[in-house]
């Protein structure tokens, strides 16, 4: 069990770093369109898995048995025994269908688990407002030789105000509270000798936020606030699921994968 947990954690970290490296610093159209495109690509991958790894022949046969049971119940609706037998067959075929579909769903679940951090940070969080404070946590990576002074965060005094700073040498981490004075993509300099440059998104909705990144041996975590979609908490996830369901039928027709 411990080995499985360790492997799963390594898989999540690998997907997380890959996601941070792949995502662009702009939205495709806007974030709703981009999220819909991501959902369509995910649905396409899931349908390919079902077609090639998901016992497509067995699923087709079970689906035919389910349709036959449903038609039998309609034809013999005056015979209680036939209705009960048809319902039992329908339930049994449904359970068998789910069992054969389960491997593809498990693989798709692992893929979504790997995407979760990247998606939630890109779509569940939004830019700061002017005058809204945020905490920037910077720490030295375990494999880096940088000193604690390389974690100090600074910026242009005309754009950014540093309201508080706390250093913890024991964990090689610095917390800095910043307060932006204007909208835009403001530059943050992390470190003194070899500063690492990051961007702080302030009221710029056409550009995504980047809450976490690791560069130059320094891990930077910006505490962007969570923003609602359609007035809902985690509304981006509802949008993602709706887009997946909406894309399943046309993409399934395209791949000739019918569930």
Predicted TM-score of the model (pTM): 0.81
Tell me the mean pLDDT in the region 16-30. 83
**Residue 152 above 90 pLDDT?**
no
pLDDT at 246: 94
pLDDT at 181: 93
Q: Which two three-digit tokens encode residue 178? A: 């910043």
Tokens 């809902």 belong to: 232
Q: Which two three-digit tokens encode residue 155? A: 């910026």
Q: What is the pLDDT of residues 47-75, one digit of tens each?
A: 888 887 767 777 788 888 888 888 888 88
| Lowest-pLDDT range of 1-5, 13-17, 103-107, 117-121 | 1-5
Q: Which two three-digit tokens encode residue 5? A: 């947990």
Q: What single-letter DSSP state applies at residue 205?
A: T
- Sequence-distant (≥ 6) Cβ neighbours of residue 230 within 8 angstroms: 238, 239
Residues 13/221, Cβ–Cβ less than 8 Å: no
Residues 229/120, Cβ–Cβ less than 8 Å: no
pLDDT at 208: 92
């Amino acid at each position: 069990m411990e080995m499985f947990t360790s492997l799963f954690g390594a898989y999540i970290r690998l997907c997380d770093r890959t996601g941070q490296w792949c995502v662009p610093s702009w939205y495709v159209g806007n974030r709703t369109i981009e999220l819909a495109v991501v959902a369509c690509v995910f649905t396409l991958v899931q349908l390919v898995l079902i077609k090639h790894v998901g016992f497509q022949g067995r699923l087709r046969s079970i689906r035919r048995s389910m349709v036959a049971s449903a038609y039998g119940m309609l034809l013999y609706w005056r015979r209680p025994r036939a209705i009960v037998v048809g319902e039992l067959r329908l339930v049994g075929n449904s359970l068998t269908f789910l069992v054969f579909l389960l491997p593809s769903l498990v693989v798709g679940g692992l893929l979504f688990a790997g995407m979760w951090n990247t998606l939630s940070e890109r779509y569940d969080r939004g830019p700061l407002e002017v005058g809204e404070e945020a905490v920037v946590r910077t720490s030295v990576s375990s494999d880096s030789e940088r000193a604690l002074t390389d974690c100090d965060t600074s910026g242009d005094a005309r754009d950014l105000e540093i309201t508080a700073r706390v250093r913890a040498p024991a964990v090689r981490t610095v917390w800095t509270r910043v307060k932006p004075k204007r909208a835009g993509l403001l530059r943050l300099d992390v470190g003194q000798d070899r500063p690492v440059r990051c961007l702080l998104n302030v009221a710029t909705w056409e550009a995504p936020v980047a809450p976490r990144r690791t560069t130059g041996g320094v891990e930077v975590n910006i505490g962007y606030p969570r923003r609602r979609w359609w007035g809902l908490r985690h509304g981006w996830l509802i949008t993602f699921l709706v887009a997946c369901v909406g894309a399943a039928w046309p993409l399934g027709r395209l791949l000739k994968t019918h569930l």
